Amino acid sequence: MMSKNMLFTKWRRWSIYLLMMAIVLGISSCQQLIKSSSVQTNNQLVYAILSDPKTFNPALSSSSPNIFGYVGEGLITENGKGEIQPALAESWTISPDAKSVVFTLKPNLKWSDGQPLTIDDVAFTFNEVYFNEEIPTDTRDILKIGKDRKLPTVKNIDSNRIQFTTPEPFAPFLRTLGISILPAHKLRSTVIQKDEKGKPLFLSTWGLNTKPADLVSNGMYMLDTYTPGERLVFKKNPYYWRKGADGKSQPYIDRIVWQIVESTDTRLVQFRSGGLDSYAITSDFFSLLKKEEQKGGYKVYGGEPQSGTTFMSFNLNQGERDGKPLVDPIKSRWFNNVKFRQAIAYGINRQRMINNIYYGLGSPQDSPISFASPYYLSRKQGLKGYDYNPQKAKEIVTSAGFKYNKENKLVDDRENPVRFTLLTNAENKIRVALGTQIKQDLDAIGIDVDFTPVAFSLLIDRIDSSLQWDSFIIGFGGGLEPNDAANLWLVDGGSHLFNLKPKTGKLAITNHQVASWEQKINDLYIQAAQELKEEKRREIYIETQKITQDNLPFIHLVNASSFSAIRNRIKGIDYSPTNGEFWNLHELTISAE
C-alpha cells in the first residue's frame, strides 16, 4: 500500500505535468491566434480583453470592454493628465454666464465610409439619440442638469458651428462632451422606424451580429473582423483627421488585435511567450514580471494607485415585482440596517488582503472618488476608515438587535441565522480571492457567507436586469471628474446598483424606497455640478464621501497599485495612472524586430 507521502509525491508530479501541459497548450494556442490574425504585417498591437463586448452601439453600452475608444470620437478629448483638448471640435467659446458653449467643427471631417461628418451629425447624436427618452442610454444621466434634471438644448448656428445651452451653469459640462458622435446618414432611419413592439429599430441596430463592414467609425480605427469568444481586429480608418508633426496621417500602427482571454493565468502565459504586447499586471505576478523585465524585452510601467475602485455591496432594494420582494424580506431587514453594514466593514481584514492577495502592493480603500481626483478625500484629511476590528464588529451588530446563539453563530432578533450569498465574476482571480477571504473573515464573527463566483455575464444580468441578489464584489473605473459617476449616485441613475430602478422596457417594480442619506448624496451631486467655484465644489464632494463612508452603500476594499508591462518594440508610451498606457495611441509606433 502506498504511504501518504508517496501518494502526495505522485499527485505533485502529476500536478506539475498538467501545469506544464497547460502552459505549452496556452503558448501554442496563443501563437495560432497571432498567426491567424496577422495579415502580412508586424505593425500591429496585440493584447487581451476579459470578455466579448456587449454591443457595438455606443448609446446602448454601459460596460467594459467596449470598442468605442477606438472607433468613436467626441467633440473634445482628454490627455494623459486629464486636460481637455480639441477632438472633432476645432475650438469652442463659453458665454460669460457659463450657460452656453459654441463649438466650431474641424473642416473636412469624414466618416470611415467617406461620407462628410457635419454639424448635422452632432445635432442628431444629442437631440435624436442621447436626449431621446425612447432610447435607454446611461449617457443621458450625466447630461441631465439641476434638480429638475433638464437636458441642454442643442441647435445649429451655421454649417460648422453648433450651440449647447444649459438651463443653469453646469461645471462638468465641457468634459461630458467627449461622448461618441454618431452618423446620421446611417442611423437616423433606425431612430424613426419602429419594430412590431413600437420600439425604435435603433435598439436592435449595431448589435454583435452586425457585420463589421456595416459599422461606420469616426475614430482612429474601424472594426475589421470579430470572432465571438476569440478576437476582435481593428484596422486604420483612412479618413481619420489627426496628423503628426511630420504631416503624416495618424495613427501610425496599422492594426489592433484584441484577444478574448477570460483567464488571467492564460493571459500571463501568452504575454510571457511573446503573444501579447501588453499585460495589466496583477499583484501576484508583479515580482515575476519585474524580475524578467530585461530578458523578456518589455518594461513595467506604473506604481501609482489604480484610478478605479473595488468594493462589496449589499442589495438595498426594498421594491417588489409582481407582488414578490426582490430581496428576501428577512435579509432585506439586515442589509438596510446601517449598523449591520458597518459591522461587516469592521469584520473584513483589508490589511490581510493587501498582504496576501495584493502582495503588499496596495492600501486600504475608503473613498468612491478616484485617488487621482482633486476632489478625493483621504483618511488624513478626515474620511472615516474601517480598520479590521472583529470585536467592534460584534459590539455594533449586537447593539442593532442581533445576538449570538449557543454555537456562536449570529442570529437576528427573530432567531433567523444570518446567512447570505456573495457573488463575483469567476474570471477575475483577485475578486475570487477577495470573496474567499471575506467568507473566512465573516465566519470569524459568526456570519455564514455562501460565496459564489459566476460568469461575468450572469453577474451583470443579476445586478442589472433581474435585480435579485444579496451581495456582490465588483469594481468601477475612475477619473478626475466625480460627475462622470453621476449615474451611480443619482437615485434614478442607470448604475445606481445598490438600489436600482428597472431600466426602460424592463418589468416595473413597486414600493421602491429611497433612504434619506441616499437622497442627500443625490442632491449634493446635483449641487456640485451647479457650482463653478472649484473650492466650493470640493467641499461638496467631501461631504458626499463622508456620507458614503458613514452609510456604506459600498464597502470599499483595497486600492491596488497599477502596473502594466509593455513590449519595448512599442515606442512613445506615456503612461497615465488615470487614462492608461495607450491614451496616446495615435502617436505610438512599433519598431522592427
Strand, helix or coil for residue 301: strand
pLDDT at residue 346 tops 70: yes
Could you tell me which CATH class the domain 309-560 is placed in?
alpha beta
Could you tell me which CATH class the domain 72-191 is placed in?
alpha beta
pLDDT, residue 593, reads 62
Q: What are phi and psi of 74, to 5 degrees?
A: -110, -165
pLDDT, residue 429, reads 87
CATH 3.90.76.10 intervals, the chain:
72-191
- Label residue 503 by pLDDT band (50, 70, 90): confident
Alpha-carbon Rg of the chain, whole angstroms?
25
b/e map of 99-112 (b: 16 or more CB within 10 Å)?
Answer: bebbbbbeeebbbb
Give 235-292 pLDDT, tens digit per residue. 999 999 999 988 999 999 999 999 999 888 899 999 999 999 999 998 889 999 999 9
- Mean pLDDT check: name the lowest of 23-37, 404-418, 453-467, 531-545: 23-37
pLDDT, residue 23, reads 39
Stretch 1-23: mean pLDDT: 36
Stretch 309-322: mean pLDDT: 95
pLDDT at residue 25 tops 70: no
pLDDT, residue 5, reads 35
Stretch 304-309: mean pLDDT: 88
pLDDT, residue 144, reads 87
| Percent of the chain predicted with pLDDT > 90 | 75
Task: List 302's β-bridge partners, or say none.
Answer: 563
Stretch 384-409: mean pLDDT: 97
pLDDT, residue 12, reads 35
- The mean pLDDT value of the chain amounts to 90
Burial of 48 (0-12, 13-18, 19+ CB in 10 A): buried
Strand 309-314 and strand 471-476: the pairing is antiparallel
Q: What is the DSSP string of 357-394?
A: TSTT-EEE---SS-TTSTT---TTTT-------HHHHH
CATH 3.40.190.10 intervals, the chain:
33-57+201-305+565-590
Stretch 82-98: mean pLDDT: 93
pLDDT at residue 179 tops 50: yes
How far out from the chain centre does Cα 268 lie? 22
What are the start-end ranges of the H helices in 299-369?
329-335, 338-346, 350-356
> Distance between CA atoms of 379 and 524, rounded to whole angstroms?
21
pLDDT, residue 526, reads 92
Between 396 and 503, the more confident residue is 396
- Label residue 41 by pLDDT band (50, 70, 90): low
pLDDT, residue 476, reads 87
pLDDT at residue 374 tops 80: yes
pLDDT, residue 148, reads 84
> Distance between CA atoms of 348 and 427, rounded to whole angstroms?
23
- Label residue 222 by pLDDT band (50, 70, 90): very high
Classify domain 33-57+201-305+565-590 at the CATH topology level. D-Maltodextrin-Binding Protein; domain 2 (3.40.190)
- Mean pLDDT check: name the lowest of 100-104, 148-152, 534-538: 148-152
Stretch 74-96: mean pLDDT: 93
Strand, helix or coil for residue 402: coil
Stretch 151-159: mean pLDDT: 95
- Label residue 24 by pLDDT band (50, 70, 90): very low
**pTM of the predicted model as reported, rounded to 2 decimal places:** 0.78
pLDDT at residue 214 tops 50: yes
Give 325-345 pLDDT, tens digit per residue. 999 999 999 999 999 999 999
- Mean pLDDT check: name the lowest of 91-105, 151-165, 248-262, 478-492: 478-492
pLDDT, residue 152, reads 94
Stretch 202-209: mean pLDDT: 96
